[in-house]
Amino acid sequence: MAFEKEIKRRRTFAVISHPDAGKTTLTEKLLLFGGAIHIAGAVKSNKIKKTATSDWMEIEKQRGISVATSVMGFEYKDTKINILDTPGHQDFAEDTFRTLTAVDSVIVVVDTAKGVEAQTRKLMNVCRMRKTPVIVFVNKMDRLGKDPWELMDELEKELEISVRPLSFPISQGDGFKGVYNLFENNLSLFEAGKQELTEATEIENLDDPLVDELLEDDADQLREDVELVEGVYPEFEMDSYLNGEVAPVFFGSALNNFGVRELLDCFIKIAPSPRPKQAEERIVEPTEDEFSAFIFKIHANMDPNHRNRIAFAKVVSGKFERNTNYKHIRLGKNLKFSSPTAFMAQKKSILEEAYPGDIVGLPDSGNFKIGDVLTSGEELHYKGIPSFSPEMFKYIENADPMKSKQLNKGIDQLMDEGVAQVFTNQFNGRKIIGTVGQLQFEVIEYRLLHEYNAKCRWEPISLHKACWIESEDEAALIDFKKRKAQYMAKDKHGRDVFLADSSYVLQMAQGNFDKIKFHFTSEF
């Protein structure tokens, strides 16, 4: 309990959005405020070789998209902030789903012109399932977009959550003048292309003559809008936000560094510090003395010069200390870590201790799988890190017979990371890779070649769905596997998987074999 103060000052959150809404740019600007970086890299521009701080894998720099979740920690106003920047591209949605299990709150970035897009809707479903508190940041206000009122109605309808503006824009597009902060009662004026941080103008209230002086023709419109906000939306209540019922909304332009300070200042005041987590055995409180953590992500080769893997552990309870023995629950053995790391994207520093809410990088020589638990000794199993049934499938074949060892090692490690899923066909012994999207095949091929020096080639296979099967009736299971022999496979953990080649075949199997349970996520 001595470390309760440390827990209270921590905020661990993810930034999520549809691709191109400006998520990585917003992450960079938050780091800029925290003094973690001093100049923002131009994320999309290929002319500027300095790419986004959080996109460090070679393929991310080439494509200008985030492929893997980056973890960054920094201090701001005596608050320790841990940001997880997630991939927006839907082909990497699974990495994002897993990341959402490791955060206490979420910032959703929405493009003012495009509004709520499909990927945002999907991610919001995961937040709703977990009752994760959400703040919305409406980005790109310096471009023409939807009317703010229309946009807020859309947010409520599409994200299925009540909203409450805590800042309001003064015009938009070319006429964008700034935002009025309803949370702090101050005015921030917009200047395009400014990389430094602008100070907000303090005003008593909107009747202040200074408002007319600064905003000229837009002053009356702002007064009208704010009056309408206060009239239409109920008072902002902390509890409703913390229970995931109301989402505060902020407006700004991340690229121009605008509206970000309001977001961050309000965030550190209202966002939750680390929360209790449900284990299979019991609810674990962050303030408990005994240490526990779970692995939500594994990344190979963060340093291309050393073939290393890092397991990302989220501390749930107790205090993590370097060079201390902790029990690896699945393996039933004790492990000690001499060089655990704290992250600032790819830059790492050795960590002496960590508290609930912190993300610790643990060097891994193959001990960890996603979902593994470390504790001071207690047998705990944290739930909630599923694999989803893939949508696309291809056979993976070795294109260089001299490198089969490297290829197998590469496939093994990349699948442990959760990049995709591998199934071994029980009929012909061939390996099938299942992914959520086409881009993942390219990433796998690229990384096998550049990180493991192994060449692969893809061969087509026509499959509709992979589902995990189980049955309490042993005889029924054996009979099913015999009858569907050419469609049976094993996943990485040796579980039975049925590969249906069409939705008709799957429906028939579900109808004809009523003693078999078919699962579309690996967590059952």
For 24: left if phi > 0, alpha if psi spans -120 to 50, otherwise beta; the answer is alpha
Residue 1 lies in a domain: no
Are 233 and 335 part of one and the same domain? no
Residue 34 lies in a domain: yes
Neighbours of 226 (CB within 10 A): 16
Are 342 and 407 part of one and the same domain? no
Closest CA to 33 of 262, 252, 197: 197
Residue 182 lies in a domain: yes
Alpha carbons 516 and 524: distance in angstroms, whole number: 13
Q: Please, where are the H alpha helices in 403-470? A: 404-416, 438-452
pLDDT reading at 36 higher than 80 = no
Residue 4 lies in a domain: no
Closest CA to 126 of 160, 155, 81: 160
Nearest-5° Cα angle at 14, 17 to 53? 85
Q: Are 329 and 372 in contact (CB under 8 A)?
A: yes
Q: With pLDDT > 70 as the criterion, what percentage of the chain qualifies? A: 82
Are 145 and 208 part of one and the same domain? yes
- The pair phi, psi for residue 146, each rounded to 5°, is -75, 155
HEC profile of 182-247 = CCCCEEEECCCCCCCCCCCEECCCCCCHHHHHHHHHHHHHHHHHHHHHHHHCCCCCHHHHHCCCEE
Q: State how far the alpha carbon of 229 is from the alpha carbons of 137, 153, 164, 223, 327, in Å.
A: 17, 13, 8, 10, 53
- The pair phi, psi for residue 215, each rounded to 5°, is -105, -10
Are 206 and 326 part of one and the same domain? no
Write out pLDDT tens, residues 419-468.
788 999 988 899 999 987 787 888 889 888 888 899 999 999 999 889 89
Are 145 and 104 part of one and the same domain? yes
Are 342 and 429 part of one and the same domain? no
Are 98 and 210 part of one and the same domain? yes
For 219: left if phi > 0, alpha if psi spans -120 to 50, otherwise beta; the answer is alpha
Residue 383 lies in a domain: no
DSSP letter at 481?
H
Alpha carbons 7 and 275: distance in angstroms, whole number: 9
pLDDT band at 38 (very low <50, low <70, confident <90, very high): very low
Closest CA to 377 of 314, 315, 326, 317: 326
Q: Which of 17-21, 44-48, 83-87, 262-266 has the highest mean pLDDT?
A: 262-266
Q: What is the CATH number of the domain that holds 438?
A: 3.30.70.3280
Write out pLDDT tens, residues 283-302.
889 999 899 999 888 776 55
Which residues touch 358 (CB under 8 Å, ≥6 apart)?
10, 12, 73, 80, 82, 314, 315, 320, 342
Last-in-domain residue among 216, 250, 270? 270
Residue 215 lies in a domain: yes
Are 153 and 200 part of one and the same domain? yes
Say what the pLDDT of residue 53 is. Answer: 47
The token duo for 210 is 């200074």
Looking at residues 148-158, what average pLDDT do you find?
Answer: 89
Say what the pLDDT of residue 66 is. Answer: 42
Are 57 and 17 part of one and the same domain? yes
Say what the pLDDT of residue 394 is. Answer: 93
Looking at residues 354-363, what average pLDDT do you find?
Answer: 88
pLDDT reading at 93 higher than 60 = no
Q: Are 115 and 154 in contact (CB under 8 A)?
A: yes
Alpha carbons 481 and 467: distance in angstroms, whole number: 13
249 vs 523, higher pLDDT: 249
Alpha carbons 309 and 298: distance in angstroms, whole number: 7
pLDDT band at 134 (very low <50, low <70, confident <90, very high): very high
The token duo for 139 is 């980005």
Residue 69 lies in a domain: yes
Last-in-domain residue among 244, 270, 296? 270
Write out pLDDT tens, residues 207-222.
667 777 777 777 777 8
Are 336 and 236 part of one and the same domain? no
Number of domains in the chain: 3
Alpha carbons 324 and 332: distance in angstroms, whole number: 16
The token duo for 60 is 């991310």
β-partners of residue 396 are: 458
Looking at residues 160-169, what average pLDDT do you find?
Answer: 88
pLDDT reading at 345 higher than 50 = no
Say what the pLDDT of residue 301 is. Answer: 54
Structural domain harbouring 257: 12-270
436 vs 505, higher pLDDT: 505
Last-in-domain residue among 233, 254, 270? 270
Q: What is the CATH number of the domain that holds 368?
A: 3.40.50.300
Are 68 and 216 part of one and the same domain? yes
Say what the pLDDT of residue 48 is. Answer: 32
Q: What is the pTM of this model?
A: 0.75
Q: Which residues of 39-59 are buried (b: 16+ CB within 10 A; e: fewer)?
A: ebbbbeeeeeeebbbbbbbeb
- Radius of gyration over alpha carbons of the chain, in Å? 25
Q: Which of 166-175, 196-205, 313-322, 386-395 has the highest mean pLDDT?
A: 313-322
Residue 468 lies in a domain: yes
Are 248 and 284 part of one and the same domain? no
Q: Are 41 and 28 in contact (CB under 8 A)?
A: yes
Say what the pLDDT of residue 205 is. Answer: 67
Q: Please, where are the H alpha helices in 21-137? A: 23-33, 58-63, 93-99, 118-130
Say what the pLDDT of residue 17 is. Answer: 80
Neighbours of 378 (CB within 10 A): 17
Alpha carbons 235 and 375: distance in angstroms, whole number: 42
Alpha carbons 390 and 433: distance in angstroms, whole number: 9
Say what the pLDDT of residue 65 is. Answer: 44
